[in-house]
Amino acid sequence: MTAMLEVDNVSRRFGGLMAVDSVTTTVGERELVGLIGPNGAGKTTLFNLISGFTPVSSGEIRYRGEKISGLKPSVIASKGISRTFQNLRVFPNMTVFDNVSVGAVGAIGQTPWQAIVGGSNRAQQISERSWEALEKVQLTRYANDLAANLAYGKRKYLEIARALAMNPDLLILDEPAAGLNDSETAELASFIKDLHSSGITVMLVEHDMGLVMSICERIVVLASGKKIADAEPSVVRQNREVLEAYLGVDE
């Protein structure tokens, strides 16, 4: 079976700094992969390269065999890859429902003409899909509230719902547990597991080792832009290089 996402010898240079240095890895269909590494290891940069926010300096990224590096973020998104952001970027002055609908309208599309005359069932489809996404994260109660007025933890779920409304095949979560307490993190972990078992391939960057170790099937470890490990959690836990770079030598 070919991999869903192939990162092929990809590098990204910012001035003199190699933020991502010749990284090669894959994500298989229906996998749940974690990406970890110390601060500044290049995790978010790698996500930005995959989602098209930052162009690659060299190498190639392929999605289902098709080259996606060099495409615009909106084009990559429309192929079925959706992402969330590390620093929580909801649309603050829009309602919760309207936030989610942007993901749905991005995927389903509505032309000005369809908006004016109605007629086509686009609006109905977008409404239904947005509602379903809100149901998945249990935010339907807040549908008409402004996103800015939601509690921090709920905004995290809102951002995930907006990504889900795009009906993605590959969901990329950038530090979903950042800023959450232990019980919220545990809740999020089981939510991500459910998403994964519903058929979505998930790739997540995370600082919270407990979360990554408990739910991921495979873990990719970056340090200073280089990949230093790529294996099951139990193997990564034993890897000397990982322990030195990330968990501290004295362990």
**Interface residues toward other proteins, by CB under 8 A:** 51, 53, 72-74, 77-78, 82-83, 85, 89, 91-95, 97-98, 101-107, 110-112, 114-118, 122-124, 126-128, 130-131, 140, 143-144, 146, 162, 166
Residue 132 beta carbon to other proteins: minimum distance, rounded to whole angstroms:
10
Cβ contacts of 173 within 8 Å, gap of 6 or more: 83, 84, 160, 192, 202, 203, 204, 205
Query: Strand 170-174 and strand 17-27: pairing?
Result: unpaired
Angle at 83 between CA 82 and CA 85, to 5 degrees: 160
- Considering beta carbons, is residue 126 or 229 the nearer one to other proteins? 126
The three-class DSSP label of residue 37 is coil
Helices (H), 56-95: 73-78
Residue 73 beta carbon to other proteins: minimum distance, rounded to whole angstroms:
4
Residue 122 beta carbon to other proteins: minimum distance, rounded to whole angstroms:
7
Residue 157 beta carbon to other proteins: minimum distance, rounded to whole angstroms:
16
- Considering beta carbons, is residue 49 or 215 the nearer one to other proteins? 49
Q: What are phi and psi of 13, to 5 degrees?
A: -110, 130
